[in-house]
Structure 1
Amino acid sequence: MAALTSAASAQDRSGPVSGGETQLEEISVTAEPTTPTRIGLSASAGYVGGTTGIGGPLLTVDSASAGVITGAQLNSRPVTRPGEVLEAVPGLIVTQHSGEGKANQYFLRGFNLDHGTDIAISVDGMPVNMRTHAHGQGYADLNFLIPELVGAVAFHKGPYFVRDGDFASAGSVRIDYLDTTAKNLALTSIGSFGYKRALSITTVPLGEGNLLLAGEAQVYDGPWVVPDALRKINGVARYSQGTALDGFSITGMAYAARWTATNQIPERAVGEGLIGRYGTLNPTDGGDSGRFSLSGRFSATDETGVTRASAYVIRYQMNLFNDFTYVLNDPVGGDQFHQRDQRILGGGEVRHIFQGDLFGRPLEVEIGAQTRTDSIRVGLFNTTLRQYRSTVLDDRVLESSGALYLDTRVRWTEWLRTSVGVRADGYYADVRSYTPANSGKATDGIVNPKLGLVLGPWFDTEFYVNYGGGFHSNDARGVTATVDPASPLFTITRSPFLVPSTGYEVGLRNRSLSGLETSLALFRLDFASENIFQGDTGTTEPSRPTRRFGVEWTNRYAVTPWLSLEGDLTITNARFTSYDPVGNRVPEAPTTVASAGVTFGEPLGWFGSLRLRYFGPRPLIEDNSIRSRATALFNGRIGYAFANGVSVSLDVLNLTNSKSDQITYAYVSRLPGEAAEGLIDRVFHPVEPTAVRLTIAGRF
């Protein structure tokens, strides 16, 4: 059996780890310059490596689309913003339609996931997705992420895995920070459009463990006529002892940012010369956000197996000022609105992995429980130039959930492994609304099976079959509401609390050619209710049932110890399954997503990376009469690592100066002088023009 430590090392050369049989061992990611085979570690001026423990089961029954990405791989990617490093997950698009402090927009498996509705993201066991959020259900703001601290990322696609609950129907991404760093780091970056960043990371022995400290500051204006004026500070402190199997860690994080936003703009405003491509129709859009957390992790091993526990408490706040429709709803005061979210949330997870045998065959039984409670104040206010005009919502929500899960994994023969699991989730919400008629309490629950089967290997090929149920929760305010808060005389239909999904997948993974891992997956996902972006409110609303089916092809090839290639392709068909004369296309559902990359480097000397990301055309309304254009972006990096620990790199973003769009929508808006009913038009957020960023880092 291959240890996870060996698998992680191999990953610096050949790509995501998934499938196969692994021992319960600590993943150790080390960035020593004397390790000549780990080219990913030398493809970044600022990555120092270290150790992290995410653990693993004795018997894995994954899928063709699951895997682990090391921090070295993640940091070899030249990116515009922190969240984009997650495009290392094959088929995942991470983009932006607003200011740099706002949560990213995510696309995966034919989903416009908005800001995180159906992709569950966690950092060190803490959920990033915010439910019953002021801007959108599942809002996942990753701007606090420090890529150089990432030790490993585990991803699963589809609702097949028992630890994945809310928001995980399209997939889940678990990000783990390093417990210790191999070296200390001091880094500074400067670049186009006022980009400046400073980062420092150190690890010092303390008592029987280690104390890791990291601090980051960043400013950025961007190419916009009205500068983003991003101001961000970020800090992490972690004390850890022991190993992934017997040890603990305590971590504190603090993040704060403020910015001005250039939101998506109508094509006609640019075509008529009202504004330029990088202009804005409301120079006061923007916001601020803050996140403070304290978390802990514990693990212990005994004769029955391994126990793992984690807990967290997070204080989060956000203010957003957006104007998507201009003078459609209020010709005098304008349509800008303020969304406010203030909350404290806490929760945790405990699980035990029993190891034994069944009829003489290796057996592993995993039992776990998860819980989370959010105490929320969430509001929506009409504003003009950020000045308050009136209140639409100012609600208090208490939302709690709990889950129990069980997974039984057996290796029946040398060529057959199975996983049979079940997950039960329960939800409770108490809404105290600014509109009394919309106050109320709600409960709901769901039970989902999770099944997996692995056949092989035969001729270095494994075959996978997966099935599972999943769900996403809806905003609790929509579950209890009975009237439109903007027009209380109008009644509305309540949303279901939990919306089920069902996923199916068959796939294979082949390693017959030395250094090459290729996987192919055919998938289908049925959803009881699709969420659709609404331009007038800037949020998503539940819509009709949908079905997606598609194919994913992923390739990682370590050509030599100093050169690796990768290429991914996802093609998806997404349709509404219930009839409506407006059409059956799912707005913003991507059909084709592709990426390719080359990474090279030695422990000392030259290193670099070149990456292509292709985001295909998409229907923007249900009848497919308005479509987006494709986006193809090249990002490149070239650098040099000196023997004294200093590294210098130059990133060139949007290498070809593409004039494509980060994101495109189609909805009704109204510019001054237009008819009262407004016009439907493409609205877009442009890709930033070619930009360069120089990074100098010292490892000591």
Structure 2
Amino acid sequence: MKFSVCIILLLLLCFTTVSYSQSRQIHPLKGIVMDQMTRDYVSNATITITTKANPSSGESDPKAFSKMTKTNELGQFTFLNIPDGSYTLSVSYVGFVSQSLNISVPSTIHNQPLSIALQAAPVQLSEVTVSSIHAHDQQIISSLDIKLRPITNSQEILRMVPGLFIGQHAGGGKAEQIFLRGFDLDHGTDIRLTVDGMPVNMVSHAHGQGYADLHFVIPELVENVDFKKGPYHTSKGNFTTAGWVDFHTQNVLEKSLVKLEVGQYNTYRAVGAFNMLGQKMREQGHSAYLASEYSYSDSYFDNPQHFKRFNLLGKYQGKLSEATQLTVTASTFYSKWNHSGQIPDRAVASGLIDFYGSIDPTEGGETSRTNINAEFTTATPGGSLIKNQFFYSNYNFELYSNFTFFLKDTVNGDQIRQKEGRNLFGYNGSFQKTYYLGSTQWISTLGASYRQDLTQNSELSHTKNRTETLERLQYGDVNELNAGLYIDELVHISPKWTVNAGVRIDYFRDQYTDLLQNPVTTKQANGTIVSPKLNFYYTPNSRFQFYLNTGKGFHSNDTRVVVPQNGKQILPAAYGSDLGMIVKPFPKLLINAALWYLWLDQEFVYVGDEGVIEPSGKSRRQGIDVSVRYQLTRSLYADVDLNTARPRAIGELAGQNYLPLAPTFTTTGGLSLTGQKGFSGSLRYRYMGNRPANEDNSIVAKGYFVTDLQANYTKPTYAVGLSVQNLFNTRWKETQFATESRLKGEATSVDEIHFTPGTPFFARLSLTYFLK
């Protein structure tokens, strides 16, 4: 079959080549696209070349044709086999003014690449097109939203993904609980998070598998967010089942700035970001900036959290040569806090504590992370793109929690400490080559990845008052290695049809040294998994696209689970499929809808009385996602996301097969204002429906509806902002668990909802001053 396809493509190439040679000479056309203000490269811009109309008759060339491509990560684009003639070259990208250039081939180019500078502009939905060239990585929703919605904190960046919900249950310092596509993802078990390609998820973490803490990201530095739901990209490995999210920080700082925030509950925040090189160096292709953030808040709990966070980041981008770019990022992060923990319904109902009170006021934590990330991107003379990335993180974590109070120890209580130190290092690399076989464009990518995690003294201990260690329950070192290799083929068969096929293979070696054993023991387990992907896209015109995504993904299991089981269930697989469409029926209306299905070979289940997660049986999820964006006026946008899911455990009796805390219906939406005489902002809502809190749905996690407001007034030298969370002061439960616990003095335990209260009305003011 493969041999036959190759023969057909070669015949098409020969036929096309003969046809062109009989008429006109052909030439390559190359160019580069950059941001006019920052001089940074613009990747994924759409480039179209079409035959220019005859100026005397107004008619097109009888041998008219149209070709489309996109820029690579260095802002470069290439057209091959362009015949002699006059053309119109069009360049477009969301958030920039589209450009059209009249060019002649070959006389006006003189074998030199075109240089095109795009000017930033307010987003206009009428200019957004559904493109076949971006079929596999097109995320129009994300591109629009990141431009339209002001970002107020790192948590809200995750909410840019339609249907993704987060919940905080440890006072702001702990990683958020994540919900997506019928998953309670805990802190990242089935979603892959990265920042500039560097992994965020922590394997075999002291608090749970896949723990993903994004608080080392300074939100003002986020430039865009890439995402995809489902396991359909070969370059994405571990944890890519429900989907993946990749945050990209600014390579070039447009303006230096100083920002101050003040809010209720003794809340303060300061941000500074400063260009370190002048305009002359920027024009030569070199830029560097330094940014820092400090936050403090007592928060709204009866027990003040004394939350403090510090971030420092430096980033350099420069040309090593005309074909090679180097980007180096170094950052460090530290946070410390107290928190009120999860409280039981009965304690509030009886008046023992307030809605914002605490059973164990000594809970809290401390964490830090230092990162170095270096990325090399090289374009070869033949048009190939080579990417090499090396990263390293030093990470420390200590968390005190009490989920069950006095269930196990009626005298001292059940407080636990989870602690670890970690060194994480790795590599991501790829080689991408574009081929043209007649009218067919074939993009072939070969990639490799390597990651190794080394933890020291990973600990779970029974403690008292955060000061006394009563018993060590687990204590050891993890050495986990993951090596991956993938090949990906993206074929633009015609302007309407695109096919993507690929396969990925991952190898894991898990090693655990148990320091509680005497003598100390070290055991290993290993496993390999192959993950194929196959995706189809049909784009009949610039207003419609239909797609079918299919693929296999996986999540790894905790080393402390797989080693005692001799490697069994080390890499449970996930099989997914999306049948969807992107429709733009009117210039100012954009709709994205999908039917989806996901089957997991193994499910993670939260165990409330232990405060850990453990593997369980198979599961199945299916649902519908709908996203709508509508431009009401030139400056006013409306959006709504609707997401349904039916998550069930496989092999369990009906009525006993619910997946605890998995969302079944969510919706978000709102209005966004931009560029109206300096005023901008948004009014947004989010709603999560009731959902089962245990397997038989006898305990229900209640839903909530919350509204937030953001208002800004921006001038060239300063900006003033007002942020209000929970505008209508709704009393709601942000995170909920069905947990068996016993309060001090209770004779027996009770299994019921334990929750962390959501924020009440919370207002903050900000003032930003832009430096020259």
> Normalising to structure 2: TM-score of the pair?
0.81
Equivalent residue for 2:600, pick from 527, 530, 541: 527
2:464 matches 1:379 = no
Query: Is 331-340 or 559-568 further displaced after alignment?
Result: 559-568
Residue 398 (structure 2) aligns with: 319
8 Å Cα contact 1:39/1:601 also seen in 2: no
1:21 deviates by: 5.9
1:72 deviates by: 4.5
2:263 matches 1:215 = no
Residue 516 (structure 1) aligns with: 589
Q: 1:182-581 residue pairs with structure 2 within 5 A?
A: 182-205=254-277, 209-242=286-319, 246-302=324-380, 303-358=382-437, 360-377=439-456, 378-386=458-466, 387-436=468-517, 439-458=522-541, 460-481=543-564, 496-580=569-653
Residue 192 (structure 2) aligns with: 120
1:96 deviates by: 0.6
8 Å Cα contact 1:64/1:508 also seen in 2: no
Deviations 1:255-288 (A, max 9, x none): 0010001111100011111111000011110000
Q: Distance in 2 between matches of 1:167 and 1:5?
A: 34
Equivalent residue for 1:689, pick from 757, 760, 766: 760
Please tell me the residue identity of whatever aligns with 2:571: L
8 Å Cα contact 2:148/2:672 also seen in 1: no
Residue 137 (structure 1) aligns with: 209
1:475 deviates by: 0.4
8 Å Cα contact 1:17/1:67 also seen in 2: no
- Check 1:383–1:496 CA distance in 2 against 1; reply closer, same or farther (3 A cut): same
1:516 deviates by: 2.1
Please tell me the residue identity of whatever aligns with 1:76: P
Residue 659 (structure 1) aligns with: 731
Q: Distance in 2 between matches of 1:682 and 1:4?
A: 57
Deviations 1:184-211 (A, max 9, x none): 1100000011110000001122765111
Q: Distance in 1 between matches of 2:435 and 2:550?
A: 25
Please tell me the residue identity of whatever aligns with 1:462: Q
Q: Distance in 2 between matches of 1:70 and 1:181?
A: 20
Q: Distance in 2 between matches of 1:176 and 1:314?
A: 18
SS at match of 2:346: helix
1:6 deviates by: 10
Q: Distance in 2 between matches of 1:514 and 1:661?
A: 40
SS at match of 1:85: helix
Deviations 1:325-374 (A, max 9, x none): 00001111110000001100100101011111246511110110011000
SS at match of 2:560: helix
8 Å Cα contact 1:636/1:655 also seen in 2: yes
SS at match of 1:453: strand
- Check 1:70–1:557 CA distance in 2 against 1; reply closer, same or farther (3 A cut): closer
Q: Distance in 2 between matches of 1:608 and 1:5?
A: 30
1:168 deviates by: 1.1
- Check 1:298–1:561 CA distance in 2 against 1; reply closer, same or farther (3 A cut): farther
Residue 147 (structure 2) aligns with: 73
Q: Distance in 1 between matches of 2:572 and 2:418?
A: 25
- Check 1:98–1:556 CA distance in 2 against 1; reply closer, same or farther (3 A cut): same
Q: Distance in 2 between matches of 1:174 and 1:284?
A: 35
1:7 deviates by: 13
Deviations 1:447-494 (A, max 9, x none): 011111001224721100010000000100111126xxxxxxxxxx97
Please tell me the residue identity of whatever aligns with 1:264: Q
1:60 deviates by: 4.0
8 Å Cα contact 1:664/1:685 also seen in 2: yes
Deviations 1:607-634 (A, max 9, x none): 2210001111110001111111111110
Deviations 1:35-93 (A, max 9, x none): 552499xxxxxxxxxxxxxxxx995442787864378437514x5x5222210110100
Deviations 1:112-152 (A, max 9, x none): 00001011000111100000000010000011111110111
SS at match of 1:639: strand
8 Å Cα contact 1:63/1:464 also seen in 2: no
Residue 680 (structure 1) aligns with: 751
8 Å Cα contact 1:438/1:481 also seen in 2: no
Q: Distance in 1 between matches of 2:524 and 2:613?
A: 22
1:574 deviates by: 0.4
- Check 1:512–1:242 CA distance in 2 against 1; reply closer, same or farther (3 A cut): farther
1:24 deviates by: 2.3
8 Å Cα contact 2:146/2:225 also seen in 1: no
- Structure with max Cα Rg: 2
8 Å Cα contact 1:323/1:336 also seen in 2: yes
1:605 deviates by: 2.5
Deviations 1:221-274 (A, max 9, x none): 111111111111100001111399731111100000100011111000111111
- Check 1:75–1:556 CA distance in 2 against 1; reply closer, same or farther (3 A cut): closer
1:528 deviates by: 0.8
2:237 matches 1:154 = no
Q: Distance in 1 between matches of 2:36 and 2:521?
A: 51
- Check 1:550–1:219 CA distance in 2 against 1; reply closer, same or farther (3 A cut): same
Equivalent residue for 1:621, pick from 694, 707, 712: 694
Q: Distance in 1 between matches of 2:248 and 2:483?
A: 23
SS at match of 1:512: strand
Higher relative contact order (CA 8 A, sep 6+): 1
Q: Which structure 1 residue ranges, 5 or more long, are not aligned? A: 10-15, 41-56, 483-492
Query: Is 407-416 or 192-201 further displaced after alignment?
Result: 407-416
Residue 100 (structure 2) aligns with: none
Q: Distance in 1 between matches of 2:644 and 2:705?
A: 16
Please tell me the residue identity of whatever aligns with 2:72: L
- Check 1:639–1:142 CA distance in 2 against 1; reply closer, same or farther (3 A cut): same
- Check 1:119–1:599 CA distance in 2 against 1; reply closer, same or farther (3 A cut): same
Please tell me the residue identity of whatever aligns with 1:344: N
8 Å Cα contact 1:381/1:390 also seen in 2: yes
Equivalent residue for 1:22, pick from 70, 73, 77: 70
SS at match of 2:246: strand
- Check 1:589–1:6 CA distance in 2 against 1; reply closer, same or farther (3 A cut): farther
8 Å Cα contact 2:655/2:697 also seen in 1: no
Count of aligned pairs? 664
Q: Distance in 1 between matches of 2:413 and 2:148?
A: 43
Please tell me the residue identity of whatever aligns with 2:337: W
- Check 1:36–1:453 CA distance in 2 against 1; reply closer, same or farther (3 A cut): closer
Q: Distance in 2 between matches of 1:625 and 1:594?
A: 24
1:160 deviates by: 0.7
SS at match of 1:202: strand
Please tell me the residue identity of whatever aligns with 1:230: F
Q: Distance in 2 between matches of 1:577 and 1:72?
A: 38
8 Å Cα contact 2:533/2:552 also seen in 1: yes
Q: Distance in 2 between matches of 1:341 and 1:211?
A: 33
2:719 matches 1:647 = yes
- Check 1:426–1:166 CA distance in 2 against 1; reply closer, same or farther (3 A cut): same
Q: Distance in 1 between matches of 2:591 and 2:654?
A: 42
8 Å Cα contact 2:234/2:503 also seen in 1: yes
1:582 deviates by: 7.6
SS at match of 1:167: coil
Q: Distance in 2 between matches of 1:467 and 1:106?
A: 24
